[in-house]
Structure 1
Amino acid sequence: MEVREQENAISVRDVTKVYRLYDKPIDRLKESMSISHKNYHRDFYALSGLSFQVKKGETVGIIGTNGSGKSTILKIITGVLTPTTGQVDVNGKISALLELGAGFNMDYTGIENIYMNGTMMGYTKKEMDAKLQDILDFAEIGDFVYQPVKTYSSGMFVRLAFALAINVDPEILIVDEALSVGDVFFQSKCYRRMEEIRKKGTTILMVTHDMGSIIKYCDRVVLLHKGEFIAEGPAGKVVDMYKKILAGKLEELKAELAAGVHKTDQQSGTEDDLSDFSGGMDVDGLVDAQLAKKTFLDNHESAGTTNQHPKGLMRDQMTINSDRTEYGDGRAEIYDLGLLDARGNITNLLLKGEMFTIRECIRFHADIQSPIFTYTIKDKKGTELTGTNTMFEGADIQPMKKGEEYVVEFTQKMTLQGGEYLLSMSCTGFEAGEHTVYHRLYDVTNITVISNKNTVGVYDMESQVKAEKRKADE
């Protein structure tokens, strides 16, 4: 038994958390002064007899509807709350992404807060000295790190807090809906860093409503509902169970579990299983998208349908990722790029269902016999969603001489769901049978897709629906 306990990074045993709820503030005083010990409160069970273990090196997700106790158990594990009954054992140094920046002193500078929080986590000044540059590089807030954090924008604040928590090499990382901070480039970097530390063997316990992240990262998932443990097992299986709860079929699910219908010893689900979800955009997001689409069309109506943009580089009119990855042997250079909407405007904002163009301008610094031009669109977790190149498309690309240029356009219909995506592009080729990269730009810019109708998954099949009502005798 002792050996098995040592394999666990986190052990939660029969944990219950009860809150006393009073109808009126005065009732609390009445109860404390009651000679007969009369109760003026009612008990609310945020958690009820919860037990589960997280093995060292595992990535475990906790899912459930709002009010199921997910954040409560994370706060108990990190020591922010104490359980009413039960026990939690933690074997390892924890870094928690709960309420980002909750431990910051607003009058201290960013640097001072880094060292103060490092001390609170148990690191020496020498250890924090070694980690400081990685934290600053990740946060990308420049000289503001020497200013009091009360002068920061909300974006700078959460970037520094996230950079600190995720770059201290924790043995256990606790994440509560924290991967949605910053812009799409920063979120992409956060996901890459999460993947890096996961591969290093860091134990990760995460709470999120993003089922794509749950299936992508989690080895195992725990399902809660109103403070009660429902099930645990492989991500796909448990996400299917969660979908039943969302559909109001909790009792049916409990009956199936009692009968052994759901066997969670094998991974069965993939991201394709998420058939009850709306493509990652909630109701508020849908309303925002409708408003944004109207504003977009209003602002661009006067532009007409011709490609009327100012002279100069297209990239100067777009959001370009300063943290992009860029490499190649330098014999070709993608010196300009742009996204053009259906009206020919250069923009990062595209409407779902409309045609758009990816334009690349390439200058050659050496003779190249058979160049290939590419693009790839990824989500912010780094998953490649779509892309193509001139070789796949059978384009007639001529040999290039030093000093010559190519302008390449890929035109297609936007069928991705509303959301944020990342665009990569490259100029490559094959020489003596070997793949050669002349210039590659990873995550060079973002694509924001505006939609007032999201379907399931990452793209829209554009289904045509026909429904005909018939009488019973027909």
Structure 2
Amino acid sequence: MSENASSREREEAISVRDVTKIYRLYDKPIDRLLESVNPWHRNYHRDFYALNHISFSVGKGESVGIIGTNGSGKSTILKIITGVLSPSFGTVHTKGTVCALLELGAGFNQDYTGIENIYMNGTMMGFSREEMDQKLQAILDFADIGDFVHQPVKSYSSGMFVRLAFALYISVDPEVLIVDEALSVGDVFFQAKCYHRMDELKRKGTTILMVTHDLGSVMKYCDRVVLLNRGEKISEGRPGEMVDLYKKILAGQYTGHEDFVDKQDFGVNSIGASVVEELKGKAAGEAKGAEEKGKDREQEGKGKTEPEGKEKEKAGGGDSLMMSRLSLNPDVKHYGNGKAEIYDFGIFDERGQLTNVILKGEYFSIREKIRFHDRIDAPIFTFTIKDKRGMDLTGTNTMFEGKETKAVKAGDEYICTFRQRMNLQGGEYLLSMSCTGFEEGTHTVYDRKYDVASLTVLSNKNTVGVYDMESELTLERHEA
């Protein structure tokens, strides 16, 4: 083994190699007995593969998420890693102190008080009485359940119970933290404390392996994501790519032939710095003119009529495809059953010009042209704006907006225009869009394009967070 390979291996905090978990399923309870006493070793069961040859590793200080639909094996693999279950085949190795937030409070004695359960579980995790004495106040402060900590936990509400359990498990400063849907406990204020604590652990270099259905948490905390489906490992890679593939599975559009390669998030680097600079240079002159208009710009934007906007968009687009004049993702991912096709789209600023650059505070439009290749009863048109890590920031669709769409047949076309004010902070964003619908009650994707174009927002005033609330400020000074 080379020195580099050896170094990488030493840095692995969790190593999962070819792990398989098989359960025997019996049609009738008596079949279990018949199989055990049958002298010819006849099988009365069928094998169910909860996990089928799963391999991945988590490096020291890395945050890795596991996502997948219900029944994909996410919780099973965590239980195997923590030793709650044994694999049928394969090996698992962990390095360092491991804290597992699987079933919160599973080790609590219902007749013990909160204090007694803290010490009992601390001992089970390998801490001495003196060490737990030092941690006790921090645990009580985090749980914030008051004098109930001196009462038997069987008298607790479900919220108080999980607050105490989470406070206990999160306070031990583990080297490896394993979390299974634990961040959804308690009210919104307690969840905020939990997320803040997770941020602290991540900054300290704690290795984190988490399972969650909250894709926002995956995008925020994970450096890498493993996607499971029906016990199989589908892929692993950057959060944005895996979340997109997961959404494809949810929509029933996964074929098993997707090729995801590790690459930089589509943004400044993949567009090309020169292209972005050219776009910014083009917008600089527009920004200067718009700045001189001052407050009149907003009133002017509100006063525009729809026909005027459409005329400018047509003038900007000409006879060629609108999207040919935009900065596009060279490796855009799209899928659908092909009944509809978004064959063209455009981004228009407040002056009706095609551009990837929008000034913060101005109105802009996203225009989609959709051609239909089959009958669809009620198509839905959408757009989504994401950050470079792939987290959905905003977006809407015709159903949300209450716009009824009529049934279409092969050869029909729709032109859909979304017009709104740009309140996102200055920065680089990604635009996705789709045409979907419902067939016999099932959500169906006809054409979905992920991260199809960049969207640069220019701003001379950024506030806190991802969007601007456009606060109006009043100051009153009273001299002594």
Q: After TM superposition, is the score higher than 0.5? A: yes
Q: Deviations over 1:24-58 (max 9, x none)?
A: 11111111111111111111000000000000100
Q: Is 1:256 equivalent to 2:254 in the alignment?
A: no
Q: How far apart, in 1, do the equivalents of 2:162 and 2:217 lie?
A: 20
Q: How far apart, in 2, do the equivalents of 1:277 and 1:102 lie?
A: 38
Q: Which of residues 42, 46, 49 in structure 2 aligns to 1:42?
A: 46
Alignment of 1:355-434 (within 5 A): 386-391=468-473, 395=474, 397-400=475-478
Contact 2:67–2:226 at 8 Å: present in 1 too?
yes
Contact 2:115–2:150 at 8 Å: present in 1 too?
yes
Structure 1 residue 210: Cα displacement: 1.0
SS in 1 for 2:261: coil
Q: How far apart, in 1, do the equivalents of 2:388 and 2:215 lie?
A: 8
Q: Is 1:27 equivalent to 2:31 in the alignment?
A: yes
Give 2:335's aligned residue. none
SS in 1 for 2:109: coil
Structure 1 residue 242: Cα displacement: 1.2
SS in 1 for 2:184: coil
The farther-off stretch of 113-122 and 14-23 is 113-122
Q: Deviations over 1:109-136 (max 9, x none)?
A: 1111111111111111111111111100
Give 1:183's aligned residue. 187
TM-aligned CA distance change 1:214 to 1:33, over 3 Å: same
Q: How far apart, in 2, do the equivalents of 1:83 and 1:64 lie?
A: 20
Give 2:377's aligned residue. none
CA RMSD between the two structures: 2.3
Q: Is 1:112 equivalent to 2:194 in the alignment?
A: no
SS in 2 for 1:83: coil
Contact 1:243–1:276 at 8 Å: present in 2 too?
no
Is there any run of 5+ residues in structure 2 with no aligned partner, and where?
Answer: 267-385, 397-462
Q: Which of residues 209, 227, 230 in structure 2 aligns to 1:205?
A: 209
Q: How far apart, in 2, do the equivalents of 1:135 and 1:267 lie?
A: 39
Give 2:98's aligned residue. 94
Give 1:226's aligned residue. 230
Structure 1 residue 267: Cα displacement: 3.5
Structure 1 residue 263: Cα displacement: 1.2
Structure 1 residue 64: Cα displacement: 0.8
SS in 2 for 1:186: helix
Structure 1 residue 177: Cα displacement: 0.8
Contact 1:55–1:203 at 8 Å: present in 2 too?
yes
Give 1:265's aligned residue. 263
Q: How far apart, in 1, do the equivalents of 2:26 and 2:394 lie?
A: 37
Contact 2:239–2:389 at 8 Å: present in 1 too?
no
Q: How far apart, in 2, do the equivalents of 1:24 and 1:386 lie?
A: 61
Q: How far apart, in 2, do the equivalents of 1:18 and 1:276 lie?
A: 40
Q: How far apart, in 1, do the equivalents of 2:263 and 2:17 lie?
A: 22
Contact 1:235–1:267 at 8 Å: present in 2 too?
no
Contact 2:387–2:393 at 8 Å: present in 1 too?
no
Q: How far apart, in 2, do the equivalents of 1:64 and 1:265 lie?
A: 22
Q: Is 1:60 equivalent to 2:60 in the alignment?
A: no
Aligned partner letter, 1:205: L
Q: Is 1:72 equivalent to 2:67 in the alignment?
A: no
Give 1:412's aligned residue. none
Give 1:144's aligned residue. 148
Contact 1:10–1:91 at 8 Å: present in 2 too?
yes
Structure 1 residue 103: Cα displacement: 0.6
Q: Deviations over 1:90-123 (max 9, x none)?
A: 0011111111000111111111111111111111
Give 1:322's aligned residue. none
TM-aligned CA distance change 1:389 to 1:193, over 3 Å: same
Alignment of 1:440-459 (within 5 A): none
TM-score by length of 2: 0.58
Structure 1 residue 384: Cα displacement: 5.8
Structure 1 residue 243: Cα displacement: 1.6
* Number of aligned positions between the proteins: 291
SS in 2 for 1:255: coil
Structure 1 residue 164: Cα displacement: 0.5
TM-aligned CA distance change 1:101 to 1:32, over 3 Å: same
SS in 2 for 1:193: helix
Contact 1:63–1:207 at 8 Å: present in 2 too?
yes
Contact 1:215–1:270 at 8 Å: present in 2 too?
no
Aligned partner letter, 1:199: R
Contact 1:212–1:271 at 8 Å: present in 2 too?
no
SS in 2 for 1:99: coil
Q: How far apart, in 1, do the equivalents of 2:156 and 2:210 lie?
A: 27
Give 1:286's aligned residue. none
TM-aligned CA distance change 1:276 to 1:200, over 3 Å: closer
* Percent identity between the two aligned chains: 66
Contact 2:18–2:91 at 8 Å: present in 1 too?
yes
Contact 1:100–1:161 at 8 Å: present in 2 too?
yes
Q: How far apart, in 2, do the equivalents of 1:13 and 1:235 lie?
A: 22
Aligned partner letter, 1:387: M
TM-score by length of 1: 0.58
Q: How far apart, in 1, do the equivalents of 2:470 and 2:118 lie?
A: 44
Q: Deviations over 1:388-437 (max 9, x none)?
A: 4433xxx4x432357xxxxxxxxxxxxxxxxxxxxxxxxxxxxxxxxxxx
TM-aligned CA distance change 1:38 to 1:149, over 3 Å: same
TM-aligned CA distance change 1:113 to 1:278, over 3 Å: farther
SS in 2 for 1:263: coil
TM-aligned CA distance change 1:34 to 1:271, over 3 Å: farther
SS in 2 for 1:387: coil
Contact 2:176–2:208 at 8 Å: present in 1 too?
yes
Structure 1 residue 272: Cα displacement: 8.2
TM-aligned CA distance change 1:270 to 1:241, over 3 Å: farther
TM-aligned CA distance change 1:185 to 1:226, over 3 Å: same
Give 1:451's aligned residue. none
Aligned partner letter, 1:255: H
SS in 2 for 1:76: helix
Is there any run of 5+ residues in structure 1 with no aligned partner, and where?
Answer: 280-375, 403-474
Aligned partner letter, 1:161: A
TM-aligned CA distance change 1:67 to 1:271, over 3 Å: farther
TM-aligned CA distance change 1:236 to 1:118, over 3 Å: same
